[in-house]
Amino acid sequence: MEKRKLSFWQIWNMSFGFLGIQFGFALQGGFMSRIFQTLGASHDDIPLLWIAAPLTGLLVQPIIGYMSDRTWHSKLGRRRPYFLIGAVLSSIALFFVPHSSTLWMAAGFLWVLDASINISMEPFRALVADNLPESQRSYGFVVQTLVIGVGTWVASNLPWMVSQLGVSDAAPQGVVPMSVKVAFAIGAVIFLLSVLYTIFTTSEYPPEDMEAFEKEKQKKNQFIPDIVNNIGNMPLTMKKLGVIQFFSWFAFFTMWSMANPALTEHIFNAPAPIEASYDMGVLVQKEAFDLANTTFQKASNLVGSAMGIYGLTSMVFALLLTFYTSKRNINRKYVHMGSLILGGLGFIGMYYISSPENLKYCFALVGIAWGSILSMPYAMLSSSVDPKKMGVFMGIFNMFIVIPQIIAALGGINYVSSLIGDQAINAMLVAGGSLIIAGLCNFLITNKSAISYQS
């Protein structure tokens, strides 16, 4: 089927739901560790508490990809039913996460939240490849990254913005501050509304042969054999991209799980107070704990705002690529390589700076890497796989995202960091090294159609 070229605004509408998805991811990535620390977790415990995120991705995305490839609804099409289900569940989970009263409750909500986000996210990736001709795919994924950048920046700053409006950062021992609760509630509303916007403004191509499609659906479900067969028959380019993804996502999982404890301690000198170090029955010590906790919460707001810079930079980077790729082809391989190496230098720089003011420059470099990670691998992949299996391959490709995160959560971060020392900030050095390795692995990509679309 010959697909027509879409205008910028049509691609924008198609991608707009990712604004909400990124609100969910940015609030989760920027503030779940803060919630865990508020509820009493040590920084060594945090990576394991985060294991819900990659495990749910590993389970959910291939299933949703497979199901959405075999779905066609007369009104909602192929991918949009999953947008809607994921958005409703994610919004509910986002609202309740900061109201957790115990660590196990917060970790449980993270499972629900991440599974729900994944239900929406994978079909959004596939939608770009479904609706755009190959010559526009780099452009489409870059526009999607532009929307993601906006969402990351705004969502990362939400607790700080809410705090500036007078909502308190102070809270009793073991209670998440109201500024975080309000921020998550706003995120829940934006998540749902932005996904609904895409559902109502975007159409999808029906299957080329509806009769053959219906016959395929009526066949006995071969989900597990089909997934195993597709994994075994992955294109070589997809496997090579998987190596790049492994080191890229190990780095970013390290940032999401460890940036708050690392930076509040190393840059702001405001580590989370440990309750066992205070005699809460003594008024003076209780007041000291409350003061240290409020200082930590305010420092966490500033860490969140600094992290928002990577979203802002990825947005600017994506905007520049949007203008360029709308008229010209790009060398995806070298763009991605350079971007990842710059991001790695940004992470390493966090170890060496002493002023919070300089943190924004480090995250600006990280944002360039993030902007590329969200577009270039998917553009290269979409030029290397069977269009009829786009959903399932996008889901399988997610394995190269979640497996490194599972390894990181199960002790990878703690082990590699401990080789350098016992300070939390060493995790940022690990993230930097991993991202530089990911950049150099781009030399593995040799498929010309993946490197640059050939008309």
Q: Please give the structure tokens belonging to residue 113.
A: 């939240």
Q: How many CB atoms neighbour CB 454 within 10 A?
A: 10
Kindly report, residue by residue over 281-298, the tens digit of the pLDDT: 888 888 888 899 899 999
Q: Bridge-partner residues for 73, per DSSP?
A: 77
CB of 58 closer than 8 Å to CB of 403 = yes
Distance CA 399, CA 418 (A): 27
94 vs 218: which has the higher pLDDT: 94
Question: Chain-centre distance of CA 187, in angstroms?
Answer: 15
- Please tell me the predicted confidence (pLDDT) of residue 258: 92
Distance CA 414, CA 435 (A): 17
Measured CA angle at 297 (ends 90, 108), to 5 deg = 30
Mean pLDDT value of segment 77-94 = 86
Distance CA 220, CA 391 (A): 19
Highest average pLDDT, of 2-11, 219-228, 269-278, comes from 269-278
Mean pLDDT of the chain: 84
Question: Chain-centre distance of CA 118, in angstroms?
Answer: 10
444 vs 346: which has the higher pLDDT: 346
Distance CA 445, CA 262 (A): 34
Distance CA 244, CA 362 (A): 22
- Provide DSSP, 73-127: BTTTBTTHHHHHHHHHHHHHHHHHGGG--SHHHHHHHHHHHHHHHHHHHHHHHHH
Kindly report, residue by residue over 121-157, the tens digit of the pLDDT: 777 777 777 777 777 776 777 787 778 878 888 888 8
Residue type, 320: L
CB of 88 closer than 8 Å to CB of 234 = no
Distance CA 118, CA 112 (A): 10
CB of 185 closer than 8 Å to CB of 91 = no
Q: What backbone torsions phi and psi does residue 50 show, to the nearest 5 degrees?
A: -85, 0
Distance CA 141, CA 128 (A): 7
Distance CA 251, CA 30 (A): 15
Mean pLDDT value of segment 368-374 = 88
Contact partners, residue 206, CB within 8 Å, separation at least 6? 72, 77
Q: Please give the structure tokens belonging to residue 62.
A: 């291939």
Q: Bridge-partner residues for 77, per DSSP?
A: 73
For tokens 């749910």, name the residue: 56
Task: Examine the pLDDT at 260 and tell me if it is beyond 70.
Answer: yes
Mean pLDDT value of segment 406-430 = 92
Kindly report, residue by residue over 356-367, the tens digit of the pLDDT: 999 999 999 999
CB of 106 closer than 8 Å to CB of 39 = yes
- Provide DSSP, 372-437: HHTTHHHHHHHTTS-GGGHHHHHHHHTHHHHHHHHHIIIIIHHHHHHTT-S-TTHHHHHHHHHHHH
Distance CA 36, CA 41 (A): 5
Q: In this predicted structure, which of 29-43, 169-183, 316-330, 402-416 has the lowest mean pLDDT? A: 316-330
